[in-house]
Structure 1
Amino acid sequence: MNLKAGLLEAIKSAVESSGLVDEVPEIKVETPKDKKNGDFSTNVAMTLTKQAKKNPRDIASAIVEKLDRSAAKVKSVDIAGPGFINFYMDESSITQIIPRVVELGADYGRSTPDQKEKVLVEFVSANPTGDLHIGHARNASVGDTLANIMDFAGYEVVREYYINDAGNQIDNLALSIDARYLEALGQELIMPEDGYMGRDIQAIGEKLAEESPELMETSKEDRIEMFRKLGVDFEMEKLRKDLDDFNVHFDNWFSETSLYEKKEVEAALEVMSENGYTFEADGALWLRTTDFGDDKDRVLRKSDGTYTYLMPDVAYHYDKVERGYDKLINIFGADHHGYINRLKGSLGALGKDPDMLEIKIMQMVRLIENGEEVKMSKRTGKAVTLRELIDTIGVDACRYFLAMRSSDSHLDFDMDLAKSESNDNPVYYAQYAHARICSILRQAEEKGHKLDAGADVSIIDQEQALDLIKKMAAFPNVIRGAAEHRATHRMATYIQELASTFHKFYNAEKVLGGDPDKTRAYLLMIEAVRQTLQNSLNLVGVSAPEKM
């Protein structure tokens, strides 16, 4: 158990034994911004005022009186302001985290609960009709980082990509390929309305014309069916390659077409009808989503007998639920905000808890270069693609920059900063901290110093060193908080804080060349920090280089 968790248990026990309240509410312990206010602080006395019917300072005094300081490793306590309780921890106990981190290695910060909650995270799910763009890139970075964090926090996580390989957009893809195919064989180009004009569609048509000109003699219906599958396969292969190179790997690739093949669309519709949530009006079949907070009811099947976009999405979520997940997390683009209530409502209509579905909406990204917004690629004159970002900026900087802000806020992506090798670049700053530690450890080895797991770390008493240890010790709690709140940006914030705290220590203290006992203690400490930094960077999908 880490220091913060141990302190929480001790506070809870003190509240229980004080007799102030019958039921102990959730207790929050924070790290004060000003170190004068202790290593940890809680406002529990103020939150208990109404229940205990006492002055918060009196409540605080009663809690402090019952606190088992020895078990909580607390050196001293004070009550501040209206009733904050500030805790100053025993510094010798703080340093004991160091050998523990080194021992756990890549598993430091990982939780292993007896019962894992099963979570399906669906993200990116772009239509297979063109390249992934900057919006998809943010979705990919945040989605994969969230999955990494939740897995580390003890959830059983599955990553899934929903392939929209049915519907009008795929019909248009096939018709666009056919038009390019016929053009390459000398016919007039007649593109369908809303056809796809991309260079890759033209290339597919030209390749088909060269390799299979005889297809021109087959019926258009047969050609379109063939080109539909060929087009989806071509685009999906390209998307998979881009995502693999972006260090994003999915466990499942779920085909929309499979919903029709397995009759799951009809099955979902039958369940909702049996539950009394569908009705007919104006020749169409409707879903009563207003029963679940939607602003209006939604059409499932149009008067011409075809399904709306909503119906296969409902069937897809019906399939997810039937697979036995405890929680469904969807990461959608900014244009899907209106979809939240109707999808959650459909789960209710299926007889499931709507709250088992969480939908995170990704806000827009603005690319900034030379102080100006970049809307179009210089190479193609179209939207900047994920592939271009990987090639020009690199995976590490892209992954980090796209995950370091809350997903519900707009993001300005400064391309010049992302490419720079300076401390102003947050990913460079963090990676440099890791590389610097590796350099110190190499120098130590060259001078005959070896890492000693039995080093006496209790002798560490220098202020910046203790600050660094405390920051390192906070890692497991940061993981849990980021997972519970689905807040991937907290990891990037923590990485910056840990790197900054290390650089401050490095500038204040000499690791090598001083007292031999302190050197051994410091070497073990910075190895623990290096491991924590590597674990943190890995969660964001960013490498931890040993040299820079």
Structure 2
Amino acid sequence: MINPILQAKGQIAQIVDRAAAAAIAAGDLPDCPAGEYGIEIPADHSHGDFACNFAMAGARTYKMAPRKIADAIVAHAALEGTGFSRIEVAGPGFLNFFLDQSWFTGAVEAVLEEGARYGTTDLGQGKKVMVEFVSANPTGPMHLGNARGGALGDCLASVLRWAGYDVTREFYINDAGNQIEKFGKSLSARYMQIVLGDDAVVFPEDGYQGADIRVLAQQYIDEHGTGLEKESEELRSQALIDYALPKNIQKLKDDLAKYRIHYDVWFHESQLHEDGSVGRIIELLRSRGLTYEKDGAVWYKATAFGDEKDEVLVRANGNPTYFAADIAYHYNKFAVRGFDWVINVWGADHHGHVARLKGAMDAVGLDGSKLDVVLMQLVRLMRGGEVARMSKRTGKAITLADLLDEIPVDAARFFFNQREPNTHCEFDLELAVSESSQNPVYYVQYAHARICSILKSLAAEEISPRACTREELDLLQTEQERELVRFMATLPDVVNASVKALDSSKITKYCVELATLFHKFYNACHVKGEAEGLLQARLNLCLAVRQVLRNVLEMLGISAPESM
């Protein structure tokens, strides 16, 4: 795993530390340890490729002006054999480091050497992490929030894998509890309306109103005929649940597969009830003195762990609540399956549940800080500058299936990953299908296709890329070439930053910027027609950019077309 930026920062630390020791030996600095200092990449590279605040950090310890400390470091710094050509002191005492050509050459070589692995890091050290996302209610189709959550969760899981984590993608199927009971009553009512007439049966006020419920009831009749109308409400509802729920779950799987999302685990909530996990978690809380009875229900002392109010675990009718099952589910993630880190992707309307669940993990003897929740805001679909509200197919809210009928999967996945999860997402349907530089996914994919086109054009003239010598790669000295190389070198750091912030939008922003820098290079620097050495150096640079684009698009689950 090669990280040119990390290597450069390590070299700077060595240069500064050795220069400080030499300055102390020469009597130019007092013999005492300096404070901790930082090394950053400035926004304006004319001020240096890296900036170090050693002088400011050491001013109090050395009891000297930062500028004087910085001058001492520069006077004793040895740059021979490093990737730096010079150091300058700026402002109150910043140490600005300028890379020499050997670093740029080495960065291109690193990308070509690492190939499909370039960008991977060892941040995760193989720790087991689960990303649970979408987990849509199986009583109906997936909505736009699920579409955004799917793209965010899947990309985040991919980035975690690139950062060296052992990643499991999981979908939690809520196939137990009140929503399934409501699902059964809704199916039963539609079934009875089909058999006896709409006016003969009153549909439940809180029932699921979607057209899909009637479709499922009709499909049952088409396959099995009538007869359930003679059974009790309970038996009829259960028979319809047993028929319809597997169909809905399979539809979830099919739609998500079309969206290029494939889970490692589909975990059924019903399993937690059937194997006694929910009962055991309630007993565990009781044994810790964290429950009490009130109004016939069993309550959990959530206020003991920072929540505003206590929560019901078992209702007065003896049925466990969803919260009880949620505690059991997360206990299973940590204590039973041994995940070191658990990440859930939820809608922002669940924000009040985050601290409650983290506190519950502490309550059962686990570490709630190892549970992180990514809260995502709502999606607003736009068409022609106006909000697109209704599905053309059903007249109801637009579903994931509707969206993928209208726009390419590449565009959906890219657009949903363009913004930080905690910001509202405006999705422009017309932009998503446009073939223009205004469409960011098209813009990025076109950069990849353009490189493939360069290679094909040269191949027609029997010119093929070959491995370059370091002397040939040293010819890549224009500002456009250096900017491109410098930016490619940041990918491992971007991967790590994306993981630390749990923000996959850093990846889409990275590839848009990389495409922009490549297009600038393409417009400023000729490949065809140059002398052999420079031609091959630029071809190698093109190959490196193509590789990085492929790697990043793979993280996003987006195709890298060779022609457009």
TM-score where L is the length of structure 1:
0.94
1:226 equivalent to 2:236? Answer no
Q: In structure 2, the residue corresponding to 1:121 is in which secondary structure?
A: strand
Which residue of structure 1 aligns with residue 28 of structure 2?
A: none
Task: Specify which of 530, 541, 560 is matched with residue 514 of structure 1.
Answer: 530
Aligned partners of 2:124 and 2:164 also within 8 Å:
no
Which residue of structure 2 aligns with residue 481 of structure 1?
A: 497
Task: Specify which of 102, 122, 130 is matched with residue 140 of structure 2.
Answer: 130
Which residue of structure 2 aligns with residue 529 of structure 1?
A: 545
Task: Please state how far the C-alpha of 1:282 moved relative to its aligned partner.
Answer: 3.9
Which residue of structure 1 aligns with residue 421 of structure 2?
A: 407
Task: Please state how far the C-alpha of 1:287 moved relative to its aligned partner.
Answer: 2.0
Change (3 A) 1:208 1:473: same
Q: In structure 2, the residue corresponding to 1:69 is in which secondary structure?
A: coil
Task: Specify which of 262, 267, 285 is matched with residue 272 of structure 1.
Answer: 285
Which aligned pairs between 1:281-296 and structure 2 lie closer than 5 A? 281-296=294-309
Which residue of structure 1 aligns with residue 86 of structure 2?
A: 76
Which residue of structure 2 aligns with residue 304 of structure 1?
A: 317
Which residue of structure 1 aligns with residue 276 of structure 2?
A: 263
Change (3 A) 1:510 1:55: same
Task: Please state how far the C-alpha of 1:26 moved relative to its aligned partner.
Answer: 7.2
Task: Specify which of 510, 514, 517 is matched with residue 498 of structure 1.
Answer: 514
Unaligned stretches of 5+ residues in structure 2 = 22-30
Task: Specify which of 214, 219, 231 is matched with residue 227 of structure 2.
Answer: 214
Greater CA drift, 251-260 or 307-316: 307-316
Q: How many angstroms apart in 2 are the aligned matches of 1:66 and 1:150?
A: 41
Greater CA drift, 518-527 or 32-41: 32-41
Which residue of structure 2 aligns with residue 29 of structure 1?
A: 40
Give the counterpart letter for 1:12 in structure 2: A
Which residue of structure 2 aligns with residue 372 of structure 1?
A: 386
Q: How many angstroms apart in 2 are the aligned matches of 1:520 and 1:189?
A: 77
Task: Please state how far the C-alpha of 1:382 moved relative to its aligned partner.
Answer: 1.3
Task: Please state how far the C-alpha of 1:278 moved relative to its aligned partner.
Answer: 2.3
Which residue of structure 1 aligns with residue 464 of structure 2?
A: 450
Q: In structure 2, the residue corresponding to 1:505 is in which secondary structure?
A: helix
Q: How many angstroms apart in 1 are the aligned matches of 2:32 and 2:324?
A: 50
Task: Please state how far the C-alpha of 1:98 moved relative to its aligned partner.
Answer: 2.0
Q: In structure 1, the residue corresponding to 2:380 is in which secondary structure?
A: strand
Q: How many angstroms apart in 2 are the aligned matches of 1:161 and 1:307?
A: 21
Q: How many angstroms apart in 2 are the aligned matches of 1:128 and 1:464?
A: 51
Change (3 A) 1:59 1:97: same
Change (3 A) 1:280 1:8: farther
Task: Please state how far the C-alpha of 1:66 moved relative to its aligned partner.
Answer: 6.1
Q: How many angstroms apart in 2 are the aligned matches of 1:291 and 1:181?
A: 47
Which residue of structure 1 aligns with residue 113 of structure 2?
A: 103
Give the counterpart letter for 2:291 in structure 1: T
Q: In structure 2, the residue corresponding to 1:95 is in which secondary structure?
A: helix
Aligned partners of 1:12 and 1:24 also within 8 Å:
no
Q: How many angstroms apart in 2 are the aligned matches of 1:234 and 1:62?
A: 74
Q: How many angstroms apart in 1 are the aligned matches of 2:111 and 2:3?
A: 11
Could you list the per-position Cα deviations for residues 133-158 of structure 1 after superposition, in whole angstroms to 9, with x for gaps in the alignment?
11111111110010000101101110
Aligned partners of 1:21 and 1:52 also within 8 Å:
yes
Q: How many angstroms apart in 1 are the aligned matches of 2:445 and 2:154?
A: 20
Which residue of structure 2 aligns with residue 85 of structure 1?
A: 95
Task: Please state how far the C-alpha of 1:25 moved relative to its aligned partner.
Answer: 4.3
Give the counterpart letter for 1:514 in structure 2: E
Q: How many angstroms apart in 1 are the aligned matches of 2:542 and 2:361?
A: 50
* Number of equivalenced pairs: 547
Q: In structure 2, the residue corresponding to 1:337 is in which secondary structure?
A: helix
Which residue of structure 1 aligns with residue 206 of structure 2?
A: 194
Give the counterpart letter for 1:201 in structure 2: I
Q: How many angstroms apart in 1 are the aligned matches of 2:320 and 2:509?
A: 45
Greater CA drift, 409-418 or 351-360: 409-418
Change (3 A) 1:136 1:59: farther
Give the counterpart letter for 1:27 in structure 2: G
TM-score where L is the length of structure 2:
0.92
Aligned partners of 2:35 and 2:57 also within 8 Å:
no
Give the counterpart letter for 2:202 in structure 1: I
Q: In structure 1, the residue corresponding to 2:327 is in which secondary structure?
A: helix
Could you list the per-position Cα deviations for residues 371-397 of structure 1 after superposition, in whole angstroms to 9, with x for gaps in the alignment?
112222233221111111111111111
Which residue of structure 1 aligns with residue 476 of structure 2?
A: 460
Task: Please state how far the C-alpha of 1:68 moved relative to its aligned partner.
Answer: 5.2
Change (3 A) 1:515 1:291: same
Which residue of structure 1 aligns with residue 24 of structure 2?
A: none
Which residue of structure 2 aligns with residue 165 of structure 1?
A: 175
Which residue of structure 1 aligns with residue 52 of structure 2?
A: 42
Could you list the per-position Cα deviations for residues 113-165 of structure 1 after superposition, in whole angstroms to 9, with x for gaps in the alignment?
79411101111111011111111111111100100001011011101010000
Aligned partners of 2:383 and 2:429 also within 8 Å:
yes
Aligned partners of 1:16 and 1:24 also within 8 Å:
no
Aligned partners of 1:99 and 1:453 also within 8 Å:
no
Greater CA drift, 513-522 or 186-195: 186-195
Aligned partners of 1:39 and 1:88 also within 8 Å:
yes
Could you list the per-position Cα deviations for residues 342-400 of structure 1 after superposition, in whole angstroms to 9, with x for gaps in the alignment?
00000000111110000110011111111112222233221111111111111111110
1:340 equivalent to 2:354? Answer yes
Greater CA drift, 298-307 or 143-152: 298-307
Q: How many angstroms apart in 2 are the aligned matches of 1:154 and 1:335?
A: 31
Q: Give identity over the alignment, percent.
A: 42
Task: Please state how far the C-alpha of 1:329 moved relative to its aligned partner.
Answer: 0.5
Task: Please state how far the C-alpha of 1:15 moved relative to its aligned partner.
Answer: 5.6
Q: How many angstroms apart in 1 are the aligned matches of 2:94 and 2:443?
A: 35
Following superposition, which runs of at least 4 residues in structure 1 exceed 6 angstroms of deviation? none
Q: How many angstroms apart in 2 are the aligned matches of 1:23 and 1:248?
A: 50
Could you list the per-position Cα deviations for residues 52-90 of structure 1 after superposition, in whole angstroms to 9, with x for gaps in the alignment?
655443454455566553454111111222333221101
Which residue of structure 2 aligns with residue 420 of structure 1?
A: 434
Give the counterpart letter for 2:9 in structure 1: L
Unaligned stretches of 5+ residues in structure 1 = none
Aligned partners of 1:159 and 1:252 also within 8 Å:
yes
Task: Please state how far the C-alpha of 1:529 moved relative to its aligned partner.
Answer: 0.3
Coordinate RMSD, CA, aligned: 2.1
Give the counterpart letter for 1:138 in structure 2: R
Task: Please state how far the C-alpha of 1:48 moved relative to its aligned partner.
Answer: 5.1
Could you list the per-position Cα deviations for residues 223-279 of structure 1 after superposition, in whole angstroms to 9, with x for gaps in the alignment?
222222322211111111111111111111110000001101111112222223223
Q: How many angstroms apart in 2 are the aligned matches of 1:342 and 1:52?
A: 48
Which residue of structure 1 aligns with residue 403 of structure 2?
A: 389
Aligned partners of 1:180 and 1:201 also within 8 Å:
yes
Which aligned pairs between 1:150-161 and structure 2 lie closer than 5 A? 150-161=160-171
Q: How many angstroms apart in 2 are the aligned matches of 1:366 and 1:51?
A: 54
